[in-house]
């Protein structure tokens, strides 16, 4: 069981056997590991802790370290699985990908990846009043609540962070809807689950495949 605290989840394991290496936020770790286990994805997997999302500077610093290490160890294509908005609102993540010469997925964030990318998340929530949550983001907010409580924030204040939202749409990528619904109830977000979408992992797979096709060959 994952420890109930913010922690460094950075994980690198590259054997140089695959033609593609995916550097991803660990919010999508369970989906990528399932795709690889089921033989649907032939790629090396490198994960950067999702908990760095609370601090752009920390995220960028750790992501640069991982990209430096990955480029030094892996000779094939590298695909960066982060959204356009994950380092800020002004294209910072795209600039980082370009600087390192890697191909970034065409997605706004992890939720967009789970929906298949290309801005589908924005289309699904034109009024910006829904919380779309997959397994990794539910864990993220669970850990966030625990961490903020350590710093003095009570449950009422935590729930207030989400007070402007209409409700939660669960994206069930792994086929464990009941677990996800229960986890949301225990999250402290105090929002109703208004819909569950059984999206599976295909959207993520399609988004990565498109990025891999655009990725320059290295060797």
- Number of CB atoms found within 10 A of residue 183's CB: 17
pLDDT of 117 strictly over 70: yes
Q: Which residue has 């990908």 as its token pair?
A: 97
Report CA 155 to chain centroid distance, whole Å: 25
pLDDT at position 129 is 97
What are 158's two structure tokens? 């935590």
Range with the poorest average pLDDT among 14-18, 56-60, 88-92, 158-162: 14-18
| Segment 174-179 mean pLDDT | 97
C-beta atoms surrounding 176 within 10 Å: 13
| 4 vs 107: which has the higher pLDDT | 107
The share of the chain scoring above pLDDT 70, in percent, equals: 91
pLDDT band for position 54 (50/70/90)? confident
Question: pLDDT tens-digit profile of 185-197?
Answer: 999 999 999 999 9
- CATH number, span 11-105+202-214: 3.40.50
Q: What residue ranges of the chain are covered by domains with CATH 3.40.50?
A: 11-105+202-214
């Amino acid at each position: 069981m994952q420890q109930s605290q913010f922690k460094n989840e950075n994980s690198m394991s590259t054997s140089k056997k695959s033609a593609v290496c995916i550097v991803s936020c660990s919010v999508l770790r369970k989906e990528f590991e399932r795709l690889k286990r089921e033989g649907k994805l032939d790629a090396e997997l490198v994960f950067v802790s999702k908990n760095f999302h609370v601090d752009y500077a920390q995220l960028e610093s750790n992501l640069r370290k991982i990209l430096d290490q990955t480029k030094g160890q892996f000779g094939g294509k590298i695909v960066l699985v982060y959204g356009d908005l994950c380092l800020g609102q002004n294209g910072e993540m795209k600039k980082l990908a370009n600087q390192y010469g890697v191909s970034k997925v065409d997605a706004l964030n992890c939720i967009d990846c789970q929906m298949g990318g290309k801005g589908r998340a924005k289309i699904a929530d034109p009024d910006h009043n829904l919380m779309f949550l997959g397994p990794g983001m539910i864990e993220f907010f669970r850990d966030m609540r625990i961490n903020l409580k350590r710093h003095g924030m009570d449950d009422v204040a935590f729930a207030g962070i989400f007070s402007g939202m209409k409700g939660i749409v669960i994206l069930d990528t792994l086929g464990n809807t009941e677990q996800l619904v229960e986890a949301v109830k225990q999250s402290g977000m105090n929002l109703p689950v208004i819909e569950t979408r059984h999206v599976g992992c295909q959207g993520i797979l399609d988004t990565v495949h498109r990025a891999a096709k655009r990725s320059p060959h290295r060797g």
